[in-house]
Amino acid sequence: MVKIKQVKEEARIIGIDDGHFTKKQKRVIVVGAITRGNKSLDGLLSTKITIDGLDATERIIKMINRSSHKHQLRFIMLNGITFGGFNLVDIKKLHSKAKLPVIVFIRKKPDFRSIYNALKKNFKDWKDRWGFIKKAGRVHSMKINKSKVYFQKSGITVKLAREVIKMSIAYGNTPEPLRLAHIIATGITMGQSKGGV
């Protein structure tokens, strides 16, 4: 657990999102946008993961730990825990190996029944994948500019996670590192950026 009493306004956060992909592709880009709180873009990382694979956790860990920005980072933010289709991130392992608190930002409340059914129907290893979802823990909620958003966390208290999310928002109700990661990832993969996380 992170022993921090308050969040510094310009704490470095890496927001992680994936790009657009088609059924014909085997891999998709994952972008990490590093910001100073909700302010300037300070750095950019990228890696590629297998669509519907199980390598997202390892690839993201390597992307962060090999980066020259690593020593400045204070928090990891993920846009959900599924990347490249159903390539799920083990947020406990990510926290442990990257040695940084992890916050999973979720715009809409997850429909776990639908996710469970989709995994069971489409994957032989659905039990392993469902395990990642259970491991991510309880879904918490909070209000941002009159909108209800959700989050999960690892290695950080609920109170501090809420403070980090609030501090990281510059526009609307999306944390700036995730907003930028989304714009960059979709811009690279689609030829132009696509709005909203």
Q: In the predicted model, what is the mean pLDDT of residues 120-135?
A: 94
- Burial of 52 (C-beta count, 10 Å sphere; 0-12/13-18/19+): middle
Number of other residues whose CB lies within 10 A of the CB of residue 26: 11
pLDDT band, residue 196 (cuts 50/70/90):
low
Residue 146 lies in a domain: yes
In this prediction, residue 6 carries a pLDDT of 62
Q: Is the dihedral of CA 10, 35, 106, 82 positive or negative?
A: negative
In this prediction, residue 3 carries a pLDDT of 53
Residue 31 lies in a domain: yes
- Indicate the SS3 state at residue 61: helix
In this prediction, residue 139 carries a pLDDT of 97
Q: In whole angstroms, what is the distance from residue 52 CA to residue 54 CA?
A: 7
Chain mean pLDDT for the chain: 92
In this prediction, residue 69 carries a pLDDT of 94
Residue 121 lies in a domain: no
Nearest in space to 173 (alpha carbons), one of 151, 194, 145, 197 = 145
Q: In whole angstroms, what is the distance from residue 197 CA to residue 189 CA?
A: 15
Residue 196 lies in a domain: no
Residue 17 lies in a domain: yes
In this prediction, residue 7 carries a pLDDT of 75
Give the range among 69-73, 169-173, 189-193 with minimum mean pLDDT.
Answer: 189-193
Q: Residue 4: pLDDT above 70?
A: no
Residue 120 lies in a domain: no
One-letter amino acid identity for 55? D
Question: Which CATH number goes with the domain that contains 94?
Answer: 3.30.2170.10
Structural contact between residues 49 and 61, judged by C-beta atoms closer than 8 angstroms:
no
Q: Which domain holds residue 44?
A: 12-110+138-190
- What percentage of the chain reaches a pLDDT higher than 70? 95
Residue 64 lies in a domain: yes
Of 191 and 70, the one with more pLDDT: 70
Q: In whole angstroms, what is the distance from residue 176 CA to residue 35 CA?
A: 7
In this prediction, residue 8 carries a pLDDT of 80
In this prediction, residue 100 carries a pLDDT of 97
Q: In the predicted model, what is the mean pLDDT of residues 102-128?
A: 94
Number of domains in the chain: 1
Q: In whole angstroms, what is the distance from residue 185 CA to residue 11 CA?
A: 23
Residue 3 lies in a domain: no
Q: How many CA atoms lie within 13 A of 119 on its CB side?
A: 20
Q: In the predicted model, what is the mean pLDDT of residues 87-108?
A: 96
